[in-house]
Structure 1
Amino acid sequence: MTMKEAMKERHTVRKYKNKDIPADIVSCLKERIADNNKVHGLNLALVTHNSEGLSGIAKMILARGVNNYFILAGTETLDLDEKLGYCGTDLILYAQTMGLNTWWVGGMFNKKGAQKNLAMDHVKINGIIAVGYGETQGVPHKSKVATEISEYKGSVVPQWFKNGVEALLLAPTALNKQAFKVIGEGKQVQITYGNGHLSGVDLGIGKYHFALGAGEENFEWKTENPRLV
C-alpha cells in the first residue's frame, strides 16, 4: 500500500484487538519516528504495551484495547503544533501502509501518563495517536466539498490543485471541522485554518495531505506559510 492509498483507506478507529504489533513493524515505526525527529527537531516517541497516555474518560467511554501509541512532543516553538500535525500525519499514514489502524487523540489524552514514557521532561506534549490492529477498519465521516474550502485564482484550475484539495478533504481534524481555506494562484498555494486549541496541529495535518495529493514538485507554499522540510 502506498502513502496515497493509505490516505484514502485510513479512518479513525477507537477499539483495538488484543494483538501485539510484531517486532519488525515496531522497528520500522521507530525508524520513521527517528527520521521525523531528526528532520523537524521533535521528540516523537512510540509506546507499546501500556495505556498510560489515554485519559480515564476515554478508556471508559470511547476506547477499548488501546495499548500502543505515538507521543506527539517537542520543544516549545511558535510552529511546534504545526510540526506535530505534519509529522503525526506521516506516522498515521505510514502505519496504515503496514496494516495498522490509528486514532488521533487530541483532547482526551493523559499528559502525565504520556510524560512518564518520555526520556525528557522539558518538552511539550500535545496529543497522542493510538496505533494497533483495529476491531474494524473504521468508516468515513461526512465531508465538506472542495468549493467550501478552496479557491483557485485563474481561468483553469490545474489538476494538481484539484488533487491536493481532494486529499485535504480526507484529513482528520479536531471535531471533524475541516476549517481549512486554500487559495491557489499560479504555482503558489496558501493554506490557513480556523482558530482553536488544535488549529496549529490541524494546519500541519492539512499541509501534509495537500502536499501528498498535489505532489510537492507541482507547487510551492507562499512565504507566510513555508513548507516544512
Structure 2
Amino acid sequence: MDIIQAIEERHAVRSYKDKEIEPEKVEELNQEIEKCNKLGNLNIQLILNEPKAFTGFMAHYGKFNNVKNYIALVGPKTANLEEHIGYYGERLVLKAQQMGLNTCWVAGTYKRRKCACKINSGEKLVCVIAIGYGEDQGIPHKSKPMEELCKIEGNAPKWFEKGMHCAMLAPTAMNQQKFLFTFDGKALKLQALKGALTKIDLGIVTYHFELGSGLSIKK
C-alpha cells in the first residue's frame, strides 16, 4: 500500500479486536516513532496492553471499545508543540495504516491520568492515538467543498489539486476542517481558523498536503 492509498483508505476506528500487535510490527512502529522523535524533538511513546486509559465514562462517551494499545503524543512545552504533534502523529497514523493496523486520534475521551507514558520535566501529554486491529475499517468522513477550504488566484496547478485532495481527507477534531489554504500563484500559505484543537489539525493537514503535492509548506 502506497502512502496516497493509505490516506484514502484510513478512517477513524474506535472498536478493536482482542488481538495483540505482532512483535515485528511493534519493532517497526518503534523505529518510526524514534525517527519522528528525532525530527520533531518529541517524546512520543507506544504503549501496549494497557487498557486503563480507555475505561469508564469518557471512553464510553467516545464510543471506544477494547482499546489496549495507544501512542502517547508527548513533547516539550513550546509554541509549536501541538502542530508538531499533529504532523508527526499523522505520519505514524499513516504508517500504521500501511502496516494493516487501525487508528483513532483521541484528544479528550480517555483517562489522561491513567495514561502509562513517561512525561519529563518541561513536557506535556497533548493527546493519544488508539491503535490496533479494528473490528471494522471505519467510515469515511464528509468533507467541505474544496472552494471552502482554499482561496486561489487563477487556475489551480495540478500539484495544488493533488495536495488539496489529500488535505481534504485529513482527520480533524470533530471533522471541523477549520483550516484555509491560500495561493496567489507564487506564495502558498496554510492557516488554522478558530476552533477546538486547530493547531493539532494544522499539523495533520500540513502532512497530508505535502504528501499529495510533493512540496513542503513554508511556515
TM-score range, shorter chain: over 0.9
- The 2-side partners of 1:112 and 1:199 are apart by 23
2:157 aligns with: 158
User: 1:121: Cα distance to partner?
Assistant: 5.2
Q: Deviations along 1:17-71, whole A, 9 cap, x unmatched?
A: 0000000000000000000001110010000001233362233341111000000
**Identity fraction in percent:** 39
- The 2-side partners of 1:30 and 1:129 are apart by 14
User: 1:139: Cα distance to partner?
Assistant: 0.9
Q: Deviations along 1:70-123, whole A, 9 cap, x unmatched?
A: 001101000000000000100000000000000100121322112x33263541
1:190 aligns with: 189
User: 1:165: Cα distance to partner?
Assistant: 0.8
5+ long unaligned stretches in structure 1: none
Judge conservation of contact 2:54–2:68 (CA < 8 Å) in 1.
Answer: no
Residue 99 of structure 2 corresponds to residue 98 of structure 1: yes
5+ long unaligned stretches in structure 2: none
Judge conservation of contact 2:172–2:201 (CA < 8 Å) in 1.
Answer: yes
Residue 75 of structure 2 corresponds to residue 74 of structure 1: yes
Judge conservation of contact 2:206–2:217 (CA < 8 Å) in 1.
Answer: no
- The 1-side partners of 2:125 and 2:60 are apart by 22
Classify 1:180/1:119 alpha carbon distance in 2 versus 1 (closer, same or farther; 3 Å).
closer
1:111 aligns with: 112
RMSD (Å) for aligned C-alpha atoms: 1.5
1:151 counterpart letter in structure 2: K
Number of positions where the alignment pairs a residue of Structure 1 with one of Structure 2: 218
Judge conservation of contact 2:210–2:217 (CA < 8 Å) in 1.
Answer: no
* TM-score normalised according to structure 1 size: 0.90
- The 2-side partners of 1:175 and 1:67 are apart by 23
2:86 aligns with: 85
1:135 aligns with: 135
- The 2-side partners of 1:126 and 1:17 are apart by 26
Judge conservation of contact 1:188–1:221 (CA < 8 Å) in 2.
Answer: no
1:21 partner SS: coil
1:221 aligns with: 217
- The 2-side partners of 1:128 and 1:119 are apart by 13
User: 1:157: Cα distance to partner?
Assistant: 1.3
- The 1-side partners of 2:17 and 2:72 are apart by 20
1:94 partner SS: helix
- The 1-side partners of 2:166 and 2:21 are apart by 28
